[in-house]
Structure 1
Amino acid sequence: MKVFKVFFSGLVLVIISAFTVNEITSGYEINDIATDFKLKNIDNKFVSLKDYKEAKGFIVVFTCNHCPYAVAYEDRIIALDKKYKKLGYPVIAINPNNPEVQEKDSFELMKVRAKEKGFTFPYLFDEGQKIYPQYGATKTPHVYILEKTKQGNQVKYIGAIDDNHSDASAVKVKYVENAVDALLENKEVAVKMTKAIGCSIKG
């Protein structure tokens, strides 16, 4: 009986550890196929990736209203959309935060922020926080570049927008631009993953 208890206790620890590791390592990796989503946009219409018939891929950005890092990148995200939407890589912004935890990230305030900044892209609300865990996003902003393939929307880059969150004029490496430029030229993305710098997602 004592041996059985020790074995059972060990088994429970292994199961708990497995779930913990799974939680830590969950989310998409490079070359994974990202599932589509259907999320409400600030115009109250629902948006899916499949709606973009002519797109070659997507710049999916998890961002929000309140985070100073996200705010610092807003102009750069708008610039990315203006540059790459016409080339087939539109920005799709998603707010992953729970407004019950961070009230500044409510759907109504998303509408206000988008109007203030003149967002040129969809700003979607991850209601129920179902999408960001699939991607594995942990910060705002956190970028996932997807390329349309026969298999589906394949993850080609994960991480930061560039190497300087505080000063756009001091940026030396534009990770997202470099990655999209490579994809447009049918080349391999040189830097596939970087560390996303920003506020933690509020769950």
Structure 2
Amino acid sequence: MKTLKCFYSIIVTIVVFLCFSFTNIIDKEKEIKNFSLKSVNNKTISLNDYKDAKGFVIVFTCNKCPMAKLYTERLNQINDKFKKQQIYLLAINSMDTVAYAEESFKLMQKKAKKENLSVPYLQDKKQKVAKQFNATHTPQSFIIWKNKDDKLIIKYQGAIDDNAAEPQKAKNHFLIDALQELLSGKEVTLPKSESFGCKIFFRGEKQKMN
């Protein structure tokens, strides 16, 4: 009896492990299709506009979230550093503008000007792009990378670094480390990290943003 219980325990452990590993592989290898969104400069921007792109950094952010506000300067710095290597950063606001007036397009324009945001700041008004990425909160970053078939695959998702308030004290620069590994032809050592911020509520949800 004990032997049988032990056998079942081992089987359950193996199944759980395989399911966890399979989930990670599928999530990491998720393909992102081209999308087009309106930028704060009133131009429509799509991934296909960047013909020479090796990949993209996609950061879901917004106007109101205190955590997201802390990263504006870092987004500019990351974009300046990596666009020379054909990696482009796009900031996307997928917040529900019906529920949250402070996430309007006009206030996005004001935010970009006030905070000197130099990266394209795009409005995902129908929230379709956030759903494609399975984005959950702001700020949340993703790296999508072209494979040999020119498909854009998620290679990293999570935090930009591990210190929002004091960037000079950050010990782990998850996003930059992942980009440098990809540029070196390596697999990303840490494809996921934990990130925190304000939840993205999709239209029809009644909960309020923290």
TM-score of the pair, normalised by structure 1: 0.84
SS of 1:29's equivalent in the other structure is helix
TM-score of the pair, normalised by structure 2: 0.81
Query: Which residue identity is paired with 1:171?
Result: A
**Aligned pairs (5 A) from 1:1-203:** 29-149=27-147, 150-203=149-202
Number of residue equivalences: 177
Cα deviation, residue 202, structure 1: 3.4
Give the Cα separation in 1 of the matches to 2:60 and 2:102. Answer: 16
SS of 1:188's equivalent in the other structure is coil
Verify the 8 A CA contact 1:33 1:151 in the aligned structure 2: no
Give the Cα separation in 1 of the matches to 2:194 and 2:122. Answer: 23
Task: Spell out structure 1 runs of 4+ moving beyond 2 A.
Answer: none
Structure 2: which 5+ residue stretches go unaligned? Answer: 1-22, 203-210
Query: Which residue identity is paired with 1:159?
Result: G
Verify the 8 A CA contact 2:182 2:188 in the aligned structure 1: yes
Cα deviation, residue 67, structure 1: 0.3
CA RMSD of aligned residues (A): 1.4
Verify the 8 A CA contact 1:102 1:202 in the aligned structure 2: no
Give the Cα separation in 2 of the matches to 1:115 and 1:152. Answer: 33
Cα deviation, residue 78, structure 1: 1.1
SS of 1:193's equivalent in the other structure is coil
Verify the 8 A CA contact 2:34 2:46 in the aligned structure 1: yes
Verify the 8 A CA contact 1:165 1:197 in the aligned structure 2: no
For 1:13, the equivalent position in structure 2 comes to none
Verify the 8 A CA contact 1:143 1:158 in the aligned structure 2: yes
Which structure has the higher relative contact order (CA within 8 Å, separation 6+)? 1
Give the Cα separation in 2 of the matches to 1:202 and 1:166. Answer: 24
Verify the 8 A CA contact 2:75 2:119 in the aligned structure 1: no
